[in-house]
Amino acid sequence: MASLPLSSLSSLAGKRLLLGVSAGIAAYKSALIVRLLKQAGCEVRVVMTEGAQAFITPLTLQALSGEPVRTSLLDPEAEAGMGHIELARWADAVVIAPATADLIAKLVHGMADDLLTTLCLASEAPKLIAPAMNQAMWRHPATQRNVAQLANDGWQLIGPAAGDQACGDVGPGRMSEPEDIFSALAQHFASPIEAPKSITGNAPHIVITAGPTREALDPVRYLSNHSSGKMGYALAAEAAALGARVSLISGPVNLATPHGVERIDVETAMQMHQAALRLAPQAALFIGCAAVADYRADSAAEHKIKKTDDSDTLTLTLVKNPDIIAEVAALPANQRPVVVGFAAETQDLAGYAQDKLQRKGLDMIVANDVSQQGLGFGSDENAALLFWRVTSGTEQLAAPPQPKTQLAALIIRQALTLLPTQSSGALS
């Protein structure tokens, strides 16, 4: 199980959370949601619809939560004392994950034909919902009307994410990952009073680039890399949880936008360059975590490039893309943020990282060895060497293999110590 973001523990400790589970294949992920919440010190009670029990047993969630799982509105023992009203009043928040299209439609129309929908009507607690369904069902106008109405009624939507689905389709509708749902709950409870405990003074504006870029060769092919964007998104989530104002410039990834983060979607290195140079002068901190393509095609073919029988080779002319991180670091002093870069290497990690730190004029660099199996690109864990400038030269810190959420907390906190105190908030 992934470790929790360090800033999430205090906001959730002692909270009473009611987890609703409806009939979707993603119901198996509800077990991890319960574990994450329990690890954060929450009291968790689970309510399941009848259909949800076909995907995961009540006994599993009872063992993880340490509390009986409620499944029926007409339970004589529980309802002897109007148990559903007591449970509705007990919760500090209600979260439903997964939430099917059917359940969402019932909630919109105020139906109360089972325990979960009845609790939602009876509870005055904040309510969060993580939709999960086939991509066509999610895109259907009826579903889109329903989720818009839920938002108008005060529900907070978490996701959905996009990607491969159990039915074989690809697209939006996947339930957000348990860590993202946990993060949304933690940030929901991080009140304006609590946030300054992490960042004091004016909240800094942090701009982060994440994910890969894609450089078109023709209408169907492109140059890219294996970056999943997970590290950049973890950084954005951690910075937002600490109280910063975060702009996330994202290449194409299958990840949900972290709660409270402004996301700017781009595809090519030139688009990311344009967005970065527009936002960087407004920022206190710029973190270049994206895996930007070094080269792009001199000109993309208008039509699909065809394979020919008269040649076994294909020659492409590539041109160099702008060096985004170096250009941000070279901004005039009155526009330049503190600049943090990343170095993904396969050998001589420390040597290449320190060279890049000096050559590009960065304030800090995070270097990771992408040749290590299970770390870096696409994985949930990473290890890194951090180097940053001090008056007498550079200092460094080695971070052993750990979940990217945990490493993100370390990186953000170290980067914030480099900010001038007069221009932004600081850690308390």
Residue ranges of the annotated binding site are 288-290, 294, 304, 322-325, 342, 356, 360
- Distance of alpha carbon 68 from alpha carbon 50, whole angstroms: 16
> Catalytic residue among 167, 170, 220, 319, which?
167
- Distance of alpha carbon 66 from alpha carbon 271, whole angstroms: 50
- Distance of alpha carbon 68 from alpha carbon 18, whole angstroms: 12
CA 86 to chain centre: 34
DSSP secondary structure letters along 365-407:
EEEEETTSTTSSTTSSEEEEEEEEEETTEEEEEEEEEEEHHHH
Specify the long-range contacts of residues 329-336, CB closer than 8 Å, at least 24 apart: 329/360, 329/361, 329/362, 329/363, 330/361, 331/280, 331/281, 335/280, 335/281, 336/280, 336/281
- Distance of alpha carbon 265 from alpha carbon 169, whole angstroms: 23
- Distance of alpha carbon 22 from alpha carbon 49, whole angstroms: 5
361: exposed, middle or buried (Cβ count in 10 Å: 0-12, 13-18, 19+): middle
Specify the long-range contacts of residues 107-111, CB closer than 8 Å, at least 24 apart: 107/150, 107/155, 108/146, 108/149, 108/150, 108/153
- Distance of alpha carbon 163 from alpha carbon 39, whole angstroms: 28
| Residue 167 falls in the annotated catalytic set | yes
Beta-carbon contacts of residue 392 (< 8 Å; ≥ 6 apart): none
Is 4 within 8 Å of 241 (Cβ atoms)? no
- Distance of alpha carbon 233 from alpha carbon 390, whole angstroms: 27
- Distance of alpha carbon 151 from alpha carbon 183, whole angstroms: 19
Is 73 within 8 Å of 58 (Cβ atoms)? no
- Distance of alpha carbon 155 from alpha carbon 165, whole angstroms: 25
DSSP secondary structure letters along 136-195:
HHHHSHHHHHHHHHHHHTTPEE---EEEE-TTS-EEEEEPPPHHHHHHHHHHHH--TTTG
Closest CA to 260 of 406, 156, 176: 156
Annotated binding-site ranges for CTP:
288-290, 294, 304, 322-325, 342, 356, 360
* Alpha-carbon radius of gyration of the chain: 24
Active site residues: 167
